[in-house]
């Protein structure tokens, strides 16, 4: 008998109700096992390691949860020069990374030409894949960057609930965010979205709809991580998101999107470093590592965390070692 028949039947027509009831189930172990099974059948034991360069912490937005919000006067702002960004990407390539994620606050100092030239320089000197994560940008910008060789774009929708979204973002709408994501997909980027777990007033039904939205958007990747309160934000007194609920959400996403790249998000590791280990048993197949230069890395504080500053090569080796010890194949 096919022991996963129950889920196969259920996921043919997954609804917010079925997903929400699974998120709240007393025993989730069979869903974890099924998600792991699907992940292994699609990705084997491979875990893809991505390097992330946080190239600017300037941001024009005022997201109520994020330490980089433009009204936080306590953060010392920095911008990496295009040359520094290119050199750091090449260092990551030399250390063995095959993808570099270029992330920043929404910083219009980096014009469409500046980003385009960074992409061109990296691509001229390496075959490393480039993921951009620079916030909501125009069709013109996104299409130029794609034409210069950017491979992927990551823009989390954060929450699919219109009133929750509006309460957290005084500076943009959910409609605009989703429209930007659909543009990214239309431009043929490998498209990444995602959301936070544990935002105040979020319910299991909302998370269930977040998961279904990832499928509706045709996401090729999805970052799902717990919300972590930052002391210089409006949500400083809120409770952090649950790691268990985060892992459950990753597992359910794996069932709906068998081929997607699902990272074990950094924020999950911040809450409990052991969680990063077990997340690979519930459907995640990607991990990111900061390669942001040591003079900047502590300034990119989205949420408080213990940021280690290690040599890029040493850190990659340490991570590979950890993955091998878990029976995984680092790539």
CA-wise closest residue to 212 among 258, 151, 253: 253
CA-wise closest residue to 20 among 284, 202, 281, 184: 202
Four-residue CA torsion sign, 136, 199, 52, 100 = negative
State in angstroms the smallest separation of the CB of 65 from ligand SAM: 4
- Residue among 39, 52, 106, 238 that touches ligand SAM (CB under 6 A): 106
Using rule CB under 6 A, residue 103 touches ligand SAM: yes
Using rule CB under 6 A, residue 169 touches ligand SAM: no
- Residue among 70, 133, 242, 278 that touches ligand SAM (CB under 6 A): 133
Alpha carbons 168 and 172: distance in angstroms, whole number: 10
Alpha carbons 329 and 325: distance in angstroms, whole number: 9
Using rule CB under 6 A, residue 52 touches ligand SAM: no
Using rule CB under 6 A, residue 155 touches ligand SAM: yes
Nearer to ligand SAM, 141 or 158 (CB): 158
Q: What stretches of 127-242 show up as alpha helix (H) in DSSP?
A: 139-147, 162-168, 174-186, 204-216
CA-wise closest residue to 297 among 287, 288, 284, 306: 306
Using rule CB under 6 A, residue 269 touches ligand SAM: no
- Residue among 49, 150, 196, 234 that touches ligand SAM (CB under 6 A): 196
Query: Using the 8-state DSSP alphabet, how is residue 195 labeled?
Result: E
- Residue among 65, 97, 110, 189 that touches ligand SAM (CB under 6 A): 65
Nearer to ligand SAM, 171 or 256 (CB): 171
Task: Supply 249's token pair.
Answer: 């959400």
Using rule CB under 6 A, residue 165 touches ligand SAM: no
Nearer to ligand SAM, 248 or 331 (CB): 248
User: Which CA distances in Å does 43 have to 25, 188, 258, 263?
Assistant: 27, 22, 9, 13
State in angstroms the smallest separation of the CB of 115 from ligand SAM: 13
Which residues would be at the binding site for ligand SAM (CB under 6 A)? 65-66, 68, 103, 105-106, 133, 135, 155-156, 158, 196, 225, 227-228, 230, 267, 302-303
């Amino acid at each position: 008998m096919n022991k996963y028949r129950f889920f196969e039947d259920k996921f043919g027509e997954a609804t917010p109700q079925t997903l929400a009831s699974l998120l709240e189930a007393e025993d989730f172990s069979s869903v974890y096992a099924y998600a792991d099974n699907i992940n292994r059948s699609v990705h084997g034991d491979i875990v893809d390691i991505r390097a992330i360069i946080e190239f600017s912490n300037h941001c024009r937005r005022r997201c109520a949860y994020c330490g980089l919000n433009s009204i936080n006067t306590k953060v010392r702002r920095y911008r990496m020069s295009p040359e520094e960004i290119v050199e750091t990407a090449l260092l990551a390539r030399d250390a063995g990374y095959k993808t570099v994620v270029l992330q920043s606050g929404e910083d219009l100092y980096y014009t469409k030409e500046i980003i385009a030239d960074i992409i061109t320089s990296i691509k001229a000197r390496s075959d490393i894949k480039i993921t951009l994560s620079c916030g909501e940008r125009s069709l013109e910008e996104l299409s130029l960057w794609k034409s210069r060789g950017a491979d992927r774009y990551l823009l989390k929708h954060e929450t699919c609930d219109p009133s929750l979204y509006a309460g957290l973002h005084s500076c943009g709408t959910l409609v605009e965010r989703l429209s930007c994501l659909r543009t990214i997909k239309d431009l043929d980027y490998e498209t990444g979205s995602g959301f936070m777990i544990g935002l105040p007033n979020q319910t299991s039904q909302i998370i269930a709809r977040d998961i279904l939205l990832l499928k509706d958007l045709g996401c090729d990747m999805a970052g799902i991580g717990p919300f972590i309160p930052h002391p210089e934000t409006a949500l400083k007194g809120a409770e952090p998101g649950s790691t268990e609920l985060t892992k459950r959400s990753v597992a359910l996403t794996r069932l709906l999107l068998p081929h997607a790249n699902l990272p074990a998000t950094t924020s999950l590791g911040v809450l409990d470093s052991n969680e990063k280990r077990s997340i690979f048993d519930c459907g995640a197949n990607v991990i990111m590592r900061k390669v942001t230069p040591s003079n900047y890395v502590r300034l990119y504080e989205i949420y408080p965390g213990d940021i280690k500053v290690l040599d890029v090569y040493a850190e990659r080796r340490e991570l590979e070692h950890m993955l091998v010890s878990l029976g995984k194949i680092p790539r």
